[in-house]
Structure formats: C-alpha cells, structure tokens
Structure 1
Amino acid sequence: MLASKRILLIIGGGIAAFKSLDLIRRLREQGAEVTPVLTRAGSEFVTPLSVSALAGRKVFQELFDLTDEAEMGHIELSRSADLIVVAPATADLMAKMAGGQADDLASTLLLATDTPVLIAPSMNVRMWQHAATQRNLAILRGDGIGFVGPNEGDMACGEHGPGRMAEVPEIVAAVQAALADGPLKGRRVLVTSGPTHEPIDPVRYIANRSSGAQGTAIARALGALGAEVVFVTGPASVPPPEGVKVVRVETAQEMLAAVEAALPVDAAIFAAAVADWHVAGASQSKLKKTKGGLPKLEFAENPDILARVSQMTTGRPGLVIGFAAETDDVVENATAKRARKGCDWILANDVGHGTGIMGGSENAVTLISAEDAEIWPRMPKAEVAQKLVERIAKALLDGH
C-alpha cells in the first residue's frame, strides 16, 4: 500500500523509541523506503546500527556532517520525502517545532521542509498535560501538522494516563491515511464509536465501559485506504483519529440524528456501545438524597440505530455492519441479533468479566454474515480494524 513512497523517519529520544524499530519494519513491509534520522537523545535508546540494519540505508544524525552536506544536504533531505514522520515526538521536539527552532538536524529538517509532517507524541502524562505542551499542540495543529495519538495507559515511569506513543499499527494506518490513494478512494463511510451518556439529572448519567478505541481504529484504517470518513462519537476516552470528519454527541438520540444527517454513505459501521435505555423525564435539577428513600427512576427504550439503518427501504448503505458485545452464548446471540436487526455483518465479541475487551487494547471477534461465522484470533484493536477494512474494501469493490 505504500509502494515506492519515501518516508523520512525522525526518531526522538524517549523510551518509546524502541517501537520505531518495528515501525521501520512495518513500513518497509508495505513497500515504503524509509530514511532514518536519529536525534542525539534518540541514540540513547536505540543504536544507529539497529536502525540502519532495519531501514537498509544510512542513518543521518549530525547537522554539520561534511560528507552528508556535500552529497545531499539537509535541505534536499527534508524535501525528497513524500512524508516526514516523527516517532516518538518528545515534548522537546514539539516545542522546537512550535517555536521554529533549528539547532540540530531533526529540528532543521522540520523547519526547512514543505513536505507533510505526521508526529506521534510520546511523553510522561504530566508533560503532555502541561500548559506549555498543550499550547504547542494547538500551534502545531494550526500549522497543519498531523497527529497520531498519544494513547492512554501505563507508562514506564509508573504513572497512568495520556502520553503513550500510539501503537505501530496505528502509526502505519495514519501514514497510509496521510498518503491515501487507496481502494476506498471516492467512497464515503460512516463509523459510530464510543459510549453514550444518558442523563439522570444535570450531574449524573448512565454510561458503559466503552473506550471508543475499536471504532477509532476502524475510522483511522478506513482513512488509510482513501475513504471519506464521517466519525460519530460519544464521549470516548481516546482521541478521535486525524483526517476524518468528527461529529461529537452525548446521547443515543443525538447519535441517531447525527447518523441520519451523515447519510447517504456507501458503508456504515456501528461500533458505538449505545445505551439501550434512557431515564424517562430526566430531572432538570440535581436529585437530592432524602429520608424518604431512593429516587424512583423510570426507563424508556432508546432508538435502535443499527436496526433503523439496516431496514431502510430507500438510501440504505450498501454494507451495514454492527457489533455485538455479549457475555454469554456469544456467537448464538450475535447471530440472532444480525438476523433481527437486518444488517449484513456483525462482529461479535465476548466482553464478560476477565476478558479485558471492553475498554482494553485488544479484541477477539467473530465476523458473522449470512453465510458463516469466521473466528478471528485475539489481536490489538488496530489489527482488527485493519483486517476489517480490508474485508470492507473487497466487499465494496466486488459490488456488495
């Protein structure tokens, strides 16, 4: 998918630099030519020899290298690529980019280029949340810099939160999206993602444990294949992907309205964990504890978004895909759900206690169609997304 694409990879100094080695391998597997630039801090975590061996070419490190300047020069190096990727992008590198600083090879290349730039931030959670980093983030977004991640999770320093570098499949998908001219070019696809929040009163709400990670990965992978993606998301705990139209909603009713507004589309993937019920007549004031006992909450059914779209008589998407999060009799219940809703495919997953699927980084799904049930092994959600969108592309190209 990246055949003959030239990628300049800048490796910053952080513990996540070890992922850059796998990133080089994955990019080359896709057919890309990778020219590595290793910062001085980056060389404290990965060696020039290992980077060079995987890239199959010389590693550039020094700004004032007489041989390099005579043969190519940093100006030519910065402009000969189709895309510049910075992974990991440390807080220091982001600050240099935002401020237009150029005191080493990496920062000089980034300042001297008119090539698109994609960065994968990686840093301690406090550094990421610091006001200075957030100012730099806003500046870089305004300058047109692309971002992938950071993700939330445990860190080498022992803390937990946003700041982990995106996983390699996510970065590869973002690279593909940045250079997209794939099999889904010209196709419009709708993806719903995340939980919905159904208010009880202005303070409290009903929700579920969905992080939005799987839907986000699917939207990113679709973009990598060239699709125009409309991404309707509830209040997810992961950031939305770059390069897609993001529509933020809170409730199931709002999600339904956003879905209907996005139609028509070629395909629709309903990965959101929509609440089945909402509180009828939610209080406009905060409910108070009283001596009279617990408040009485009456529930009403939410709209069935998947069924409504699947059963449209006019304007139905050519391919409608749902998800079935089950805790018992997973395949049987999901198979019945597919028939009941009327969708083309359903991805069933076991979200029972101890699986770590809902809210986790991995998924184990069974793709159920009218023909069969195909069991996929447990894998990172980014890889599930990649496998799914390749199947979607084939189905649409075959005229599903």
Structure 2
Amino acid sequence: MTASALTRPGQRDRLSVKLGEIDWRLVILLAMVGGAGAVILYSVGGGWSPWALDHAVRFAIMTAVMIALALIDLKWWFRAAYPLYALFLLLVLMTEFTPLGYVAGGARNWLNLGFIRLQPAEFVKFGLVLALARWYHSHTAAEARLSWKLLIPAGMIGVPFILVAKQPDLGSAMMIGLTGAAMMFLAGLSWRIIAAGAAAAAAIIPPFVMFVMHDYQRNRVLTFLNPESDPAGTGYNIIQSKIALGSGGLLGKGFGLGSQSQLEFLPERHTDFIFSALSEEFGFVGSFSILLVYAGIVLISLRIASLSYSHFGRMAASGITATFALFVLINGAMVMGLAPVVGVPMPLLSYGGSSMMTLMVGFGLVMAVRVHRHKELPKNSGLL
C-alpha cells in the first residue's frame, strides 16, 4: 500500500484498502490467546462442554465483529462517545435500582434482560475510555495537565466507580478507577496532582478497608497478607492457586493432567484462576509464552495509538490498551498471591461473555484508529 493511495480522496474509503490497513499481526495474537483459552477450558471442563465450545464460538463471532468495527470511521466513534458512556451508566443504574438486576457471587452486578444476561460494569469501562478520549481531544494540554476543568473527567470516573463499588463489585470498581487514572496520566496530568492523589490514597485505604468494606471483602484483603492463617477458609483460593502454579514446573504436567484443576481443588478454574490451571498443565514455558503474546498485543496497540493524527484516536487506543494491560497485571498478581482476590479475569483466556465482548469491541476501536489514523477530527470546546 503506497502513501499516495492512503491519502488520495476516494481511495482511502474503499473496503479493500481498509481491510489492508488492519494490523493482522494484532488479530493473530488475539486469536492465539482466544485459542489458548479454548484449549485450557476444554481441559479443565473435560470436553467441549460446558465452557470450551461457548468460548470458541463467542470468540469467533467477536473477531468478526472486531474486524467490522475497524472499518467504522473515527468520526462516528467520536460522536458516539458520550451517548455510549451515558447508556452504559444507565445500565449500571438499572442493575442497582430495578428488578432486572440480580445478585451473583455476593454482588448485585448482573442485568437480566430476559434474552441475555449482561454485566454492565464491564461495558462502562469501554464507555469511560471513549468519553475521556473525547473530552481530552477537545481540551488543551495545559487544561489536561492542571486546571479546574479536570473535575469533569474526575467526575466521569468517580460516578461509575461509586455505583459499581456499591454493588459491591470491588474488582470492577478498581478497574474503572485504574483505567481512568491511567488515561489521565497518559493525557499529561501534573505530577503534583499525581503525588497528592497517591498520598490521599495511602491515607484513605486503611480506614476504607477496616470500616467501609463488607466483611468478606475485608477478609480477602487480610487473607492476602497471610493466607496460611486460614488455609481451609478464606486462604484456600490463594493457596490452591500457588500449588497449581508451582506444581507445573518447567514444562507442566501435560494437557488434561493437572491434578489441582482436574480434581477441582483449584477454585474458579475456568474464570479467575484459569492462568493457574494453564501453568499447571503447560508449566513455566506455557505461561511465559502467553505472557509474551500479551506483551506483543500491548506493544502493537501502543504503536497504533502513536500513529494516530487525532488526539481522540491516540487517547482511545491508549485507554483500551491500558485497560487490557491492567487486566493481565491484576489477574497475574492475584493468582500468584501478590494481590487480593478481587474477581478480575485473565483477558480472553478466562470464560466470560461480557468481558470478552467489551475487550473485542475495544480492540475493534484500536484497529479503527489504525485504519483511519490519517483522520482529522474537529476540536470543540466544553464537555459537549
């Protein structure tokens, strides 16, 4: 593809040109993770049912959706940013305050629409990235660094954070807060504000843990510090995960031969602790290989963000990449006992429809930034 073909009016909008501009390396890496997820779900489930086939079919469908979304002009993503954020926030409110919301795993974080069940907290992360990307696109670097207008993006982050934390879904609330904080940092937030925020967090976290968290959430945090204090109770999950990770050794026990997962000692082996199951069966080599693929996805996505002519494109692609990287880092730390168990899945490896849908739509946006990287978007002042 020549530069002239990309810049010539009419040529750039041809379907064949757009498909050629998709970064297929990223598609392949995502497919490798999704395929690895199907393999390990087949193993821990003892066959295609109950998880592996669903995971594979969902991933195939969402890959097609991702490629289709990559063809959508950035101006439509830009225009949809605030409406989508508002829609996903409404879904969170419906979960909390209408009979459509129901409790699962101790949190009222699912929305039953009859024909489908959704976890709105997953979608609001994507809506937040879009909304923040649009806001920062329309404001100057000085305003993004230090100004009273930063109260607006802080509010965009704070409202869904509080609503989701109230459900209570600590893992999703934490991801919302960290995603928003990462985007503010990437936008050039003043180091004075970053230092003040870190100091405030250090002061607030201890009383929050002791007096605001629910008992089971507090136990998770305290157990993380010393899981052996209650090996048959609150420390069970972390201990079994560490056993699975260590027992895999260098090359693993082999496909379908992981005792922790096959004998069901490992809890939530198809969701939160699927990385432990993979490490037990495929060892250090298998788990490290998956982490390398994750690293490749992050690096390619950041490269795509850097190529965008529009600030909206750079911020949107960077925000999706930051969210993805946070999923990997928090789940990895969680299963290794380096962070409390907060219910954060390993992206595209764990079983779960809402999480997969959100991430694949997000990567559709990343690829749209790649395909339409020459697109200039208007600068408009104010929130709207």
Smaller-chain TM-score range?
Answer: under 0.3
Higher relative contact order (CA 8 A, sep 6+): 2
Q: Which has a greater percent of strand?
A: 1
Query: What TM-score does the superposition give when structure 1 sets the normalisation length?
Result: 0.25
Higher relative helix content: 2
From the CA coordinates, give the structure whose radius of gyration is larger: 1
Q: What is the TM-score when the length of structure 2 is the normalising length?
A: 0.26
